[in-house]
Chain A
């Protein structure tokens, strides 16, 4: 039978509008790192979860253009900068929850409850065990010191984790000092920035550089990799937590916020609470080696080996506020 496509589309559209026990997610977290826990949520609550994954910026653009008719209920990102951007663009709405306020520390969520952090990721220094004495390391700032000339590897300044790190430094000490620092750091690069965090670790392992700035979960992933070469490379380096005598190591979050257009606010909130729950938190910790956002869930065994650390407790919102400034100053400093 011939079915006119317009009618079909209309029916689908009405179907979407009808309130059902479901929740629609735009997720910058990759499918493999979120779907299993979402399936768990469906089993537990009977709420269907629909998922689109993609780059955070593109998803935010889509959300913005779709406006009040967007089907998305929840925006999930892997850094705070994008959550801040979504809030600024008026794409999120505040949701209040006793549970969330209780388990998630203040500085890991939006002061006005527009978004909540769901896991922590720290950007640290890794060093070649055989060539670097940990006693020579101290802070991010000290990486601009001439003693590290041609010894540091880091990825491109297009990467959001670098942008957030630099934004945090701008927040702490202003644009000028940070730009000065960035110029020094660029002079110390052992090579043109390229590849991902794992590539920086591998470069340290083979001796192209002695230090690298990376997120901890990449190193953990390599240590537990199926590929022998990755494990061997990872074993040649060690983690150094910077700025422990001062503000602490830079920490970013993965997090989520309920969209302004949400039609399943209730379900979205339930999902948020589920993701902040103990079960989901330890799943993040075990599966992707991230640090749980709540204090009462321990990190994975592997991460515990690296010892406890002091985290920078800056209001994470600041990373979003200073992002564009950070990008510009990295451009000026010649950080490719």
Chain B
């Protein structure tokens, strides 16, 4: 009926390229803006007056906050690199007894929330704990006769956080090592590299983007940690934010502290990006053969085994056993009729959030790939900041715009129709899941992005030359190639949501509790033993995705041959 346009551009043709990508661009900016609102709300606070609170902070506690946070970061940084990269290389490139089990067992501490491992070790190692009690009885000592490392200290916090955060580095560096082409390694051999040199000259440099990604996840989580440092009485930036906010009653100064925290992260990320400069890490070939694992014997085998066992034993086995012992002591009290409900709430929220986070991450990173301009790059970078922001700050960052939105609509409706709509979004699960996205999207973005960078741009060109539009290209080419990364992203978010506490505490609707909330409530009443039941449940629920994760990585290797 209507007239046919004179020229119909061929789909995907050079003429239509720019126009076709416009919707992606717009949608990317829109979604990013929405998700950025909480972070920007916090940033916006920089310009609010804070009546002399800064002068007080500066003259009393600010130096402590900054120096403790820095020491914590450096300490955790070094420990997670050592605990993460070493075992990752060993289990990927070498053969020794127990290797197959360690491959996935090394991920188990990921299921252990930092605050729970802190409670557990305190129970074990504190002055009144069984270890020191045992020593005193064994040698007839009393307090003061002997030296024992203080668990509730800055050093203790470094140890606790490292033990549960190293899996990020392990996970991503192992993925990188697994995906490295054997050819590159073999070429290095022909050039005279010994196995150790293959690691330091080829494996490590090639895995650098993955290692940095893992490290920054671990460090961001370190900066955002509240539960552990607060429990250990270590004043960091995060505890300072809370204290300023609640103790001194200055929400603007508190928000300013968090804004500076974010600024700091942003600078770190930019520095890293700059240092990488124009280096790109694509794969040279898509033909892989099975990795030949070099067997280890004698003391080397023993050393490798000990190196890999250390984080598993102290990051998982010891605390899990202690939790189990407590849980059996207090089982009667915890296993009420509500327990089942707690489990379904926790699992449901985690599953829902991780599916959404994977979808959004794919959308955002792919959008950036289509239109790699300054705007989209900045958008992805700012979205990546949420992970370093303490959950409580994010929660308030969500509450402010959501309640404003709800109350504005309500006011308008009351004026126009004399009808109150009340709060539409605030206090619903929607707000909570939104907050999870702001907080955990960086995890899934970094995983999906790592996968996407490895797909050579040539693949896109080939796809487009076949007449695929962006959406088709994504569905037919990228998603199948990214399956491993997507699953990794989803599982990481799942485990993170399962462990999340502060945002859940503030944003959840009436009569809605999770395992993490329950654990916190009991532990906060200083009933550690009673908290063990729900804590153990979080760990157990986290183990399954963690094991799945490990299988995904092994399978993600193109040359992997499935054994029956």
Contact = CB atoms under 8 A, between A and B. Distances in A.
A52 B249 CA distance: 23
A287 to B, nearest CB: 12
Nearest to B512: A52
A336 B233 contact: yes
A50 interface: yes
B422 A51 contact: no
B423 A10 contact: no
A153 to B, nearest CB: 10
Contacts of B509: 52
B245 A66 contact: no
Contacts of B164: none
A250 B413 CA distance: 50
Interface in B414-440: 420-428, 430
Contacts of B132: 206
Contact of B505 (A13, A58, A205, A206): A58
Contacts of A297: none
B521 interface: yes
Question: Nearest 10 pairs between A and B by C-beta?
Answer: A194-B233, A202-B128, A207-B143, A50-B510, A57-B246, A65-B403, A327-B247, A198-B526, A331-B60, A196-B526
B432 to A, nearest CB: 12
10 contacts: A14-B422, A30-B521, A52-B512, A53-B521, A65-B426, A66-B406, A155-B233, A206-B133, A218-B526, A226-B529
Interface string A251-287: 0000000000000000000000000000000000000
B51 to A, nearest CB: 11
A interface, size bucket: 35 or more
A75 B494 CA distance: 33
A208 interface: yes
Interface string A115-151: 0000000000000000000000000000000000000
B399 A202 contact: no
Most buried by B among A156, A193, A199: A199
A52 to B, nearest CB: 5
B513 interface: yes
A158 B152 contact: no
Interface string B94-132: 000000000000000000000000000010001110101
B235 to A, nearest CB: 6
Nearest to A155: B233
A16 B509 CA distance: 12
Given A62-B506, A208-B127, A226-B330, A30 B525 contact: yes
B403 A66 contact: yes
Given A61-B396, A158-B239, 4 more contacts: A32-B521, A52-B512, A196-B526, A206-B133
B531 to A, nearest CB: 11
B149 interface: no
Contacts of B425: 9
A327 to B, nearest CB: 4
A222 to B, nearest CB: 9
A9 B60 contact: no
A93 interface: no
Interface residues on B, range: 35 or more
Interface string A97-121: 0000000000000000000000000
Quick one: which of B152, B395, B510 has the most chain A CB within 10 A? B510
A239 interface: no
Contacts of B410: 69
A32 B511 CA distance: 13
A68 B420 CA distance: 11
B127 A203 contact: yes
Given A52-B508, A52-B510, A195 B127 contact: no
Nearest to A60: B246
B508 A331 contact: no
Given A9-B425, A66-B427, A156-B233, A328 B127 contact: no
B248 to A, nearest CB: 6
A156 B61 CA distance: 14
A33 to B, nearest CB: 8
A300 interface: no
Contacts of A327: 243, 247-248
Residue in B400, B517, B527 with the greatest tally of chain A CB atoms within 10 Å: B527
A233 B128 contact: yes
A336 B422 CA distance: 43
A5 B399 CA distance: 20
A70 interface: yes
Given A62-B399, A69-B420, A202-B128, A331 B526 contact: no
A9 B144 contact: no
B232 interface: yes
Of the listed residues A202, A206, A328, the one surrounded by the most CB atoms of chain B closer than 10 A to its CB is: A206
Contacts of B329: 226-227
Contacts of B245: 57
Given A57-B245, A62-B399, A66-B426, A229 B128 contact: yes
Nearest to B507: A62
Interface in A285-333: 323-324, 327-328, 331-332
A179 to B, nearest CB: 12
A328 B57 CA distance: 9
Contacts of A61: 251, 396, 399, 506
Given A9-B428, A9-B430, A163-B247, A69 B407 contact: yes
A71 B126 contact: no
B423 A71 contact: yes
A157 to B, nearest CB: 8
Nearest to A217: B525
Most buried by B among A50, A58, A218: A58
A324 B233 contact: no
Contacts of A328: 56, 248
A158 B247 contact: yes
Contacts of A202: 126-128
A33 B428 CA distance: 25
B422 A69 contact: yes
A10 B133 CA distance: 59
Nearest to A25: B510
A206 to B, nearest CB: 5
Contacts of B421: 10, 13-14
A206 B60 contact: no
A207 B243 contact: no
Contact of B407 (A51, A67, A331): A67
A244 interface: no
Contacts of B378: none
A42 interface: no
A205 B132 CA distance: 13
Contacts of B403: 65-67
